[in-house]
Amino acid sequence: MTDRQTLESLATDLAAGRTTALTLAEAALARAQDAAGEGARVFTHISRERALAAARASDTLRAAGIVRSPLEGIPVSVKDLFDVAGEVTTAGSAVLRDAPPAVRNAPVIDRLIAAGAVIVGRTNMSEFAFSGLGLNPHWGTPANPWDRAGRRIPGGSSSGAAVSVTDGMAAVAIGSDTGGSVRIPSALCGLTGFKPTQRRVPIDGALPLSSSLDSIGPLGASVRCCAITDAVLAGQPVPESGTRDWPGARLAVPETLVLDGMDAPVASAFERALARLAAAGARITRLAVPEFAQFAALNARGTLAAAEAWAWHRALLARHEAAYDPRVSSRIRGGEKMGAADYIDLLAARRRWIAQVERRIAGYDALVLPTVPIVAPRIADLQASDAAYFAANGLILRNPTLINFLDGCALSLPCHADGEAPVGLMLAGAGGADAKVLALGQAVERALAAV
């Protein structure tokens, strides 16, 4: 397996006999266990023997003419919050290292196995998924492949997931996204990531951050990689390779909030991408979305993530708070101050807000906005300063979080030029628009790649 091959190119090589599932698994494991690489910070657990056994089984089935899905024999990594039978689900925390192993697989793990995927291991993450930066004081922080000498953040919370793909330790990674945790590391590391409408993919067997907002999605080398993997996770047929009719596609650029605070590399890449999309035939409209400006006020008495995290963690915090990352525990404790009436009010306000935003964007095929308004900061700078950490975390989470609150779906795909800092372009739609966003994403991907 070469770095950043697509699932379709790997499947073609497997079908032609140019490689085998065992060869791909051995190459992925070698990269993951290379002492000179990022593997020790990318994975919390490497399933070497299980992966090799699954790869051998896949090769045997292929030889008999059985190919279960486009993921057959493909190395896949899974975030360390999914239950895998016989393994401890630590969610990137020291607190759960001695917890009992899971007794059954999460449904998404069963679906991956049934599809013939070869699960290489469990990937590192922001502790309990409660940060968009990817820093982890317990397991270490994998460095972004861009400017690796400068050791920049990979983005979070699915930090190890992203680096497992960029560094060839997996062809595709499975992450979770509560406020951008699939899209942020995809954007900062130059990958494509997809956050589905929450209800399409079961979250059972995934250690929760926010039951209202958690969703499960893939990070990969292309939009098609995400579409294939998303279908497997959702238990749906893999869609035919194809795109939505592109000429005249109606794209809305929200001018409220999401363009604030962009640094120069992001602003340049984003505007260049919009110009390229317009030249390819897209109709781009600049749109005020006043509901986005109301978001902070809606959450002034607390957020759904903090309230629901507090409900899950309060007993564990009472016993083991000293073992938590204090930057995570302090955010969880924010939910302690939120009353039941405040929580119920926020749920009702969210329903009204969703209806208002859906009405406003109904005439467009997708929203288009920067996934993250800044390029990846240096790990050391954020480790050294709480002020820098929380400022970066808030800014990086801002745009993706709006789509989670909308109960929508969104795709982040690279829009920077070769040699530039990675920048993500986000295509987003209302809940249930997944197929449209993915098909449109393939057209956008081609337009951005055109010279």
The angle at the Cα of 373, spanning 368 to 376, to the nearest 5 degrees, equals 130
**Going by C-beta distance under 8 Å and a sequence separation of 6 or more, which residues neighbour residue 265?**
375, 416, 420, 421, 423
Nearest-angstrom CA–CA distance, 114 and 117:
8
**Going by C-beta distance under 8 Å and a sequence separation of 6 or more, which residues neighbour residue 96?**
88, 89, 90
What residue type is 20 in one-letter code?
T
Hunting for tokens 């999914």 — which residue is that?
82
CA-based R_g, the chain, Å: 21
Closest to 157 in 3D by CA, of 134, 186, 135, 184: 134
For residue 188, report the phi and psi dihedrals to the nearest 5 degrees. Answer: -75, -20
**Residue of 79, 93, 131, 412 marked active site:** 79
- Per the annotation, the verdict on 337 as an active-site residue is no
**Residue of 47, 93, 181, 215 marked active site:** 181
**Residue of 157, 158, 176, 210 marked active site:** 157
Closest to 83 in 3D by CA, of 169, 174, 172, 21: 174
Question: CB–CB of 425/199 below 8 Å?
Answer: no
Give, for 122, the enclosing helix (H) or strand (E).
Answer: strand 118-123
- Per the annotation, the verdict on 436 as an active-site residue is no
For residue 65, report the phi and psi dihedrals to the nearest 5 degrees. Answer: 85, 15
- Token pair listed for 208: 């929760």
Nearest-angstrom CA–CA distance, 290 and 285:
15
Residues serving a catalytic function are 79, 157, 181
